[in-house]
């Protein structure tokens, strides 16, 4: 073979490589809209969540979730909304919290959700106080053996009481970034391969499901998990800024959490956030998050945030890079 032929073969191979790469990128484009939203009211049934003085987290989360879904449906009639529960039960009527969490994630994944929003209420422990109110005389035994004797001593007397923790405001969580690796295993198969357009025969034929044990597939799926992370962070930020604009107490912006409570966020193969709409342990805020006005304001912010996020997504200003 001449060097010229070799060069041509090389150039051709390289072009084919580029072509196949371009094609992969095309089929890997995530769908840039939200067709199915999962709304997950936290806790329920056997698990009331945090308790306030007259209400509990499970009930408040459910009420706000249902109002949020209803308001969204009015503005977006084509949006498919799936609730993990609509009554005071553990989702799927599961007997334990863990099984309930698994059910929430499985439902979201099997419904091909494009976005997952969990609604919770926060709580902080009561603050304990102690005050010296005087001394009481008490007879106690001291010493050992022959030296053992009775003495009278003054024993301080305290009054103990608790007051509600003043912590208040909202918090919006996403999963910890070091859990992207786990999120990989829940990457939504449909999103991974993009929307299958029936007019594009190249794409709709030969669909293979990704195999996470293949390092190359895993690397590609990790890119998706990272995109979910960016999208989730973006939405969480919009939600928190919205609450701030409504005058709610700012608690430091979007937070990453890495505990059991938000396991569901990394188990769902889609962007996902958890919104703590206020502290049920704070007397003022407990009243607010139970009131019609308070719930309406929270719902308004969630709807506005959803709209902003959806528009950004559709104009491709977030997500892909």
Closer to Zn ion at the Cβ: 120 or 251? Answer: 120
Supply angle C-alpha 17, 19, 25, rounded to 5. 105
Q: 80-83 and 115-122 as β-strands: parallel, antiparallel, unpaired?
A: unpaired
Q: 115-122 and 36-41 as β-strands: parallel, antiparallel, unpaired?
A: parallel
Structure tokens, 17:
């490589």
Q: 149-163 and 127-142 as β-strands: parallel, antiparallel, unpaired?
A: antiparallel
Closer to Zn ion at the Cβ: 121 or 187? Answer: 121
Q: Which of 42, 44, 113, 269 binds Zn ion (CB under 5 A)?
A: 42
Q: Which of 41, 44, 49, 100 binds Zn ion (CB under 5 A)?
A: 49
Q: Label residue 218 exposed, middle or buried (CB < 10 Å: 0-12, 13-18, 19+).
A: middle
Residue 296 Cβ, how far from Zn ion at the closest point, in Å?
Answer: 22
Give Cα separations from 290 to 61, 166, 168, 283, 296 (angstroms): 10, 17, 14, 11, 10
Long-range contacts of 300-303 (CB under 8 A, 24+ apart): 300/71, 300/246, 301/239, 301/242, 301/243, 301/246, 302/68, 302/117, 302/239, 302/275, 303/68, 303/71, 303/72, 303/75
Closer to Zn ion at the Cβ: 30 or 44? Answer: 44
Closer to Zn ion at the Cβ: 116 or 193? Answer: 116
Residue 226 Cβ, how far from Zn ion at the closest point, in Å?
Answer: 27
Contacts with Zn ion by CB under 5 A: the residue count is 3
Residue 175 Cβ, how far from Zn ion at the closest point, in Å?
Answer: 15
Residue 119 Cβ, how far from Zn ion at the closest point, in Å?
Answer: 9
Q: Could you tell me which stretch among 35-43, 159-167, 211-219, 306-314 binds Zn ion (CB under 5 A)?
A: 35-43
The answer to whether 242 contacts Zn ion (rule: CB under 5 A) is no
Of residues 82 through 141, those in contact with Zn ion by CB under 5 A are 120
Residue 155 Cβ, how far from Zn ion at the closest point, in Å?
Answer: 42
Q: Could you tell me which stretch among 45-53, 127-135, 167-175, 224-232 binds Zn ion (CB under 5 A)?
A: 45-53
Name the residue whose CB lies closest to Zn ion.
120
Q: 171-175 and 149-163 as β-strands: parallel, antiparallel, unpaired?
A: unpaired
Q: 272-279 and 171-175 as β-strands: parallel, antiparallel, unpaired?
A: antiparallel
Q: Could you tell me which stretch among 46-54, 139-147, 157-165, 240-248 binds Zn ion (CB under 5 A)?
A: 46-54
Residues contributing to the site for Zn ion (CB under 5 A)? 42, 49, 120
């Amino acid at each position: 073979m001449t060097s010229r032929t070799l060069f041509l073969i090389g150039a051709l191979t390289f072009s084919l490589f580029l072509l196949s790469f371009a094609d992969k990128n095309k089929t890997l484009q995530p769908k840039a809209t939200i067709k199915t939203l999962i709304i997950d009211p936290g806790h329920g049934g056997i698990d009331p969540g945090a308790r306030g003085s007259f209400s509990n987290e499970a009930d408040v989360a459910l009420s706000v979730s249902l109002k949020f879904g209803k308001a969204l449906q009015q503005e977006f009639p084509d949006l498919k909304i799936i609730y993990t529960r609509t009554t005071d039960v553990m989702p799927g009527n599961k007997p334990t919290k863990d099984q309930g969490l698994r059910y929430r994630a499985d439902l979201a994944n099997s419904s091909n959700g494009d976005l997952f929003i969990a609604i919770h209420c926060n709580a902080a422990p009561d603050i304990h106080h102690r005050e010296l109110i005087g001394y009481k005389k008490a007879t106690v035994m001291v010493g050992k053996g022959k030296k053992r004797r009775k003495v009278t001593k003054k024993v301080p007397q305290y009054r103990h009481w608790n007051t509600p923790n003043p912590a208040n405001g909202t918090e919006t969580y996403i999963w910890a970034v070091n859990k992207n690796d786990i999120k990989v295993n829940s990457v939504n198969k449909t999103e991974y391969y993009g929307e299958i357009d029936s007019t594009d025969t190249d794409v709709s034929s030969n669909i293979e499901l990704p195999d996470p044990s293949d390092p190359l597939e895993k690397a590609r799926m990790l890119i998706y998990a990272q995109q979910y992370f960016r999208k989730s962070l973006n939405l969480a930020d919009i939600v928190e800024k919205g609450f701030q604009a409504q005058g709610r107490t700012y608690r430091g912006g979007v937070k990453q959490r890495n505990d059991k409570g938000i396991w569901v966020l990394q188990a769902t193969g889609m962007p996902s956030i958890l919104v703590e709409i206020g502290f049920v342990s704070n007397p003022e805020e407990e009243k607010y998050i139970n009131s019609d006005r308070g719930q309406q304001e929270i719902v308004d912010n969630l709807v506005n945030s959803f709209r902003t996020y959806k528009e950004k997504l559709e104009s491709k200003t977030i997500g892909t890079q």
